[in-house]
A and B are shown apart, each in its own frame.
Chain A
Amino acid sequence: MLRSLFIIFFFQLLGEAIQKFFEINIPGPVIGLVLLLLVFIFFLKSSSQFKKIKKDISNTSHQIINYLSLLFVPIGVGVVMHINYLGDNLFKILAIIIIGTLATLVFTAFVMEKIINSEKKNVKRR
């Protein structure tokens, strides 16, 4: 547990440092995610030595991700407390968010499902 927390924190730290150093517009934790993923794919190929570490990180990560929703509560409260910042535009903005978000969600999923299905058909034809 402690070792995996260290590794996860370390990769975030690495990501933050890279983000600051190269002044990239991508958040440090996302860079950390990519780095950790690359290490897992390319350097930790099921060699028995690393199996235990891998399992350890996997357990810890799943435990943290289980509570992913909880971590959004503090900023969410900030939204409620500062909702008046949206002023007279509040209802227009809410309408745009609801229509825009659902349209984007359905459009994206629809396009992806179509491409996946057409790929499946192509495979069958061959």
Chain B
Amino acid sequence: MSKEDKLYKIWVYLQAEPLFWITLTLGAFLVGDYLYKKSKLNPLVNPVAISILIVSTVLLTLDVSYDRYFNGAKFIHFMLGPATVALAIPIYEKKDLIFKEIKPIIFSILFAIPFAILITYYLASFFNLDKEIILTMIPRNVTAPIAMGIAELIGGIPSLTAIITIITGIVGASLGTFALNIFKIKDMSARGFGFGVASHGIGTARAMSKNKTAGVFAALAMGLSGIATSIFVIIILKIVI
């Protein structure tokens, strides 16, 4: 057997194993995280976006299907659930601050959720999108599993909602800081809260990496907006459409 044949055989074996794709994902993330830290936490150098680009480039170059990749990467994906539960601890540690700001928290959610739903609705109508796509986009600012559930409920396409939701998270995480700076919003709880409402978990991850208080308020906002959106969306759609 020639050397090339042997290499090819090894590749065929390895690419069918989860280990290869887990290692690739971890490696890509280490690169992304290194660049993020090197850039002094510049939001544009978003570690999630960089790792996604690296892994996707590898998959497209080697012509590997997403299913094959996910067969390995699912072990990393699995930890999202426990990580969500673990957010209880930083929230607990800031509970005094949260109780102190309980009024701003409740009122902000009551204003922010209708705003989030309506701005997506009106922008999508303005761009002449089909009703089905509009409904698919509406729950995009909440965490993916809730967004998909809502999409199904109101007549959108859940798998498309998942894609749109993830893009929303990355956009918020990488551009949000600039938007907040332009409008000179300084309060860390308010900044974090905005991240959680507008860009769910990925925005929360960005806020966490930058400031503990912002991270906790983002996690809180993510949970609350998920719950509030599930309740409000039907009422608001009934009034608007």
Could you list which residues of chain A lie within 8 angstroms of chain B, going by C-beta atoms?
5, 8-9, 11-12, 15, 25-30, 32-34, 36-37, 40-41, 57-58, 60-62, 64-65, 67-83, 85-86, 89, 92-113, 115-117, 119
Contact = CB atoms under 8 A, between A and B. Distances in A.
- Report, nearest first, the 4 A-B pairs whose CB atoms are least far apart: A109-B194, A74-B73, A29-B84, A61-B86
Given A79-B167, A101-B198, A104-B115, A70 B51 contact: yes
Interface residues of B, number: 108
5 contacts: A34-B88, A94-B167, A97-B167, A105-B194, A108-B194
Contacts of B60: 81
Contacts, number: 307
Given A74-B25, A75-B77, A96-B120, A82 B66 contact: yes
Contact of B171 (A12, A77, A101): A101
Nearest to A65: B86
Contact of B73 (A11, A41, A73, A86): A73
Contacts of A99: 119, 123
Interface of B: 25-26, 28-29, 33, 47-49, 51-53, 55-56, 59-60, 66, 69-70, 73-74, 76-77, 79-93, 95, 101, 103-105, 107-108, 111-112, 115-116, 119-120, 123-124, 127, 129, 133, 137, 140-141, 143-146, 149-150, 153, 159-160, 162-164, 166-172, 175-176, 179-180, 183, 185-187, 189-191, 193-195, 197-199, 201-206, 208-209, 215, 221, 223, 226-227, 230
A63 to B, nearest CB: 9
Contacts of A29: 80-82, 84-85
Q: Is the interface of A mostly helix, strand, loop or mixed?
A: helix
Contacts of A74: 25, 69-70, 73-74, 76-77
B146 A73 contact: no
Given A11-B85, A85-B159, A73 B52 contact: yes
Q: Count chain B CB atoms within 10 A of each CB in A80, A86, A97, A104 and give the residue with the most.
A: A104
A36 B85 CA distance: 7
Given A25-B149, A65-B89, A98-B171, 20 more contacts: A5-B82, A25-B153, A27-B146, A28-B81, A40-B89, A41-B92, A58-B89, A61-B90, A67-B79, A68-B201, A76-B48, A102-B172, A102-B175, A103-B115, A105-B198, A106-B180, A106-B194, A108-B193, A113-B185, A113-B186
A34 B223 contact: yes
B108 A112 contact: yes
